[in-house]
Structure 1
Amino acid sequence: MVERSAERGRATRQRLFDAAVALIGEVGWGGVTTRMVAERAGVAPGVVHYHFASVNDLLVEASAAFAGALFGEAARRLTEQPDIGSGLDWLLGELSGYTGADPASPLIVEMYLAAGRHPELRDRLRVMIDDFRSQVASWLRVNGHTGDAEAAAVLLAASVDGLVLHHSLDPATDIAALAAPLRAMLTGQPG
């Protein structure tokens, strides 16, 4: 009986997370209300506050879980690539799917904006980004990067963020065409 109740609680929390993540992308961080989340999740508004002290706490938890999975998977898959060139080709191919119309792009943009107002979110994002950068720096060193791998990882991570923003504003941007300059930046050799 207790196990089934805990399972129902986890399922409800997941529905709340899913609703919050979708709504952040649709109406913006500040536009999400308890009532909207409850309606989207198919629960009474009081259920939101049973699980979370505030709607902001829910937004932080839900967006951090989503972003953590996204960044973690990107780092894992990038670092599985056998060399820097293959990694950049893979990464740029992945980024071409972030058009601004996808669910992840607006959520991540909203998270970055909200992080300026919510220290807990800022701290959680910082940890995720630091972990991503650390994994990328290690991968760069293993694959022959001869410069400052940590600095290169920061530049690559910032490039990813910028490319997602630029691509959402101009979906005609040919992201694959950026492989040569990025390769030159990371390997010191022309693309």
Structure 2
Amino acid sequence: MASVSAQRGRTTRQRLLDAAVPLINEVGWGGVSTRLVAERAGVAPGVVHYHFSSVTGLLIEAGIGFTSVMFEEFLKELSSRPTIGEGVDWMLGELSRSSGTDPASLLIVEMYLASTRQPELRARLNELLARFRAEMASWLRERGHPGDAMAEATVLAAAVDGIMLHHALDPGLDLATLAGPLRALFVRADA
């Protein structure tokens, strides 16, 4: 009987996490309330606080979980690119398919902003980004990049974030024109 109850609890917890991510995008990090999450998940408001110490705790878990999966998928796709140049071109292609106001982009922006006020989110997001940059650095090294792969992975990750923000503000921005300058930063002999 306990296993049925435990499974039901895990299912409810996941429903709350799944409800939180789109709400962050719809009303912003600070606009998500216990009532909104409970309504979206189809549970009583008290259930939110049974599973999470606070709405902020729920949002951190939901945002970090979603972003972790997104980063894993990004890195998996990136790792299938045999050269740095092809990887840079793929990243720009992915960014060009995004509006900058799509759910994933909005979530990242909301999390970055909220992390300036939420130390726990800042710490968790920093840990996630450190792993992401380390994986990108490994990818650069595996492709024979001769420079400081960790520093340059940080620049590349920041460039992706910045391009996403610029593209959101200027949807007409031709990302293909950025390939040359971005490739020049990272591509030496493998282009």
**What TM-score does the superposition give when structure 1 sets the normalisation length?**
0.94
Task: Give the residue type in structure 1 aligned to 2:82.
Answer: P
Q: Using a 3 Å threshold, how does the CA distance of structure 1 residues 169 and 133 change in structure 2: closer, same or farther?
A: same
| Number of residue-to-residue matches in the alignment | 191
Distance 1:159 1:61 in 2: 26
Shift of 1:76: 2.3
- What is the DSSP-based 3-state SS (H/G/I as helix, E as strand, rest coil) of the residue aligned with 2:97? coil
Residue 165 (structure 2) pairs with residue 165 (structure 1): yes
Alignment of 1:19-168 (within 5 A): 19-168=19-168
Distance 1:28 1:11 in 2: 25
Q: Which one is further off, 58-67 or 167-176? A: 167-176
Task: Give the residue type in structure 1 aligned to 2:146.
Answer: T
Distance 1:175 1:41 in 2: 38
Q: For structure 1, which runs of at least 5 residues remain unmatched after alignment? A: none
Distance 2:96 2:11 in 1: 32
Q: Which one is further off, 181-190 or 169-178? A: 181-190
Shift of 1:29: 0.8
Identity, % of aligned positions? 61
Distance 2:30 2:172 in 1: 30
Shift of 1:190: 11
Partner of 2:183 in structure 1? 183
Task: Give the residue type in structure 2 aligned to 1:187.
Answer: V
Q: For structure 2, which runs of at least 5 residues remain unmatched after alignment? A: none
Task: Give the residue type in structure 2 aligned to 1:6.
Answer: A
Task: Give the residue type in structure 2 aligned to 1:174.
Answer: D
Task: Give the residue type in structure 2 aligned to 1:171.
Answer: P
Distance 1:95 1:138 in 2: 22
Partner of 1:17 in structure 2? 17
Task: Give the residue type in structure 2 aligned to 1:38.
Answer: A
Shift of 1:163: 1.0
Shift of 1:183: 1.0
Distance 1:61 1:82 in 2: 34
> Alpha-carbon deviations, 1:73-116, whole Å to 9, x = none?
21222122111111112111111232133111111101001111
Distance 1:81 1:34 in 2: 43
- Alpha-carbon contact 2:84-2:190 (below 8 Å) kept: no
Shift of 1:177: 2.5
> Alpha-carbon deviations, 1:39-85, whole Å to 9, x = none?
11111101101101111110111111011111122122212211111
- What is the DSSP-based 3-state SS (H/G/I as helix, E as strand, rest coil) of the residue aligned with 1:96? helix
Shift of 1:136: 0.8
Distance 2:188 2:83 in 1: 14
Task: Give the residue type in structure 2 aligned to 1:15.
Answer: R
Distance 1:79 1:176 in 2: 21
Distance 1:187 1:85 in 2: 6
Distance 1:95 1:80 in 2: 17
